[in-house]
Structure 1
Amino acid sequence: MEYLFTGLEQSALGDAMRSWRWLYPIINTAHIAGIALLFGAIVSLDLRYLGFWKSVGADGLARVLVPVAVSGFVLALLAGGMLFTTDASKYAAMPLFQIKMALIGLGVLNAAYLARKRATAWVALISLATWTGALICGRFIGYL
């Protein structure tokens, strides 16, 4: 696995991310924008499933917010992958990064479950916990 991480760091993309003055900040901004779209849409939908805004139909809200969340997830995933190439070995070894990835995985599984079943308060609470946890872990990684 270490060979894979070293290969990512030494790739043309990894080199560009580290050496082009504006590339890293632009990609980091895209990552944050993706997170904002994902998190904002998910929190809004989860709060609806928890009983907020009962006058707004959950199905209609989901039709609007699910594509926003998916678009945000894809943007955050692509940009995050690019950021990862700058120091893949270091990030992969961080327990906080590993927890973040596990929480994202749980969040995706929870969303897949939600897409097949009826929303419940428990599913919404699990969603809020996993995505909030991933957000916190990701933010703290920048300070380690």
Structure 2
Amino acid sequence: MGVILLVGSIGLLDLRLLGYARAVALDDLARALTPLALAGFAIAVASGTILFAADAAALAVSAVFRLKLLLLVAAGANALAFRWLSALPLARGLALLSLVLWLAIVIAGRMIAYL
């Protein structure tokens, strides 16, 4: 549930920045989706911590798990850059990067069980 709220909310906002649904005001959409994204992040952190604790030894040496953590750091840095920078062309590039990063994070998370 946490990942759905987080990635879904961020994804919708990123798509709006990229030009989809221009009739929807960006500020209104951000105001509506930011609390959902933050709630999703909190749920994902809590459940991820529990899942890590259940198999910490195996996850600590997993290359895919480490990749996922690096991608999460990159997504966080991207979010901070977005907050600090307001130029629309740059915001569009950051939105596209955000979509790619979150897709990669979800894929890496699923691949942990198989690799």
Match of 1:114 among 68, 72, 82: 82
Query: What is residue 111 of structure 2 aligned with on the other side?
Result: 140
Greater C-alpha Rg: 1
Shift of 1:85: 0.5
- Where does 1:56-135 land on structure 2 (aligned, <5 Å)? 56-118=24-86, 120-135=91-106
Structure 1 segments, 4+ long, off by >4 Å, are none
Q: Are 2:11 and 1:43 aligned?
A: yes
Corresponding residue pairs, total: 112
Normalising by structure 2, report the TM-score: 0.92
Distance 1:115 1:83 in 2: 30
Amino acid at match of 2:93: W
Structure 2: gaps of 5 or more residues? none
Structure 1 residue ranges without an equivalent (≥5): 1-32
Partner SS state of residue 22, structure 2? coil
Distance 1:133 1:117 in 2: 24
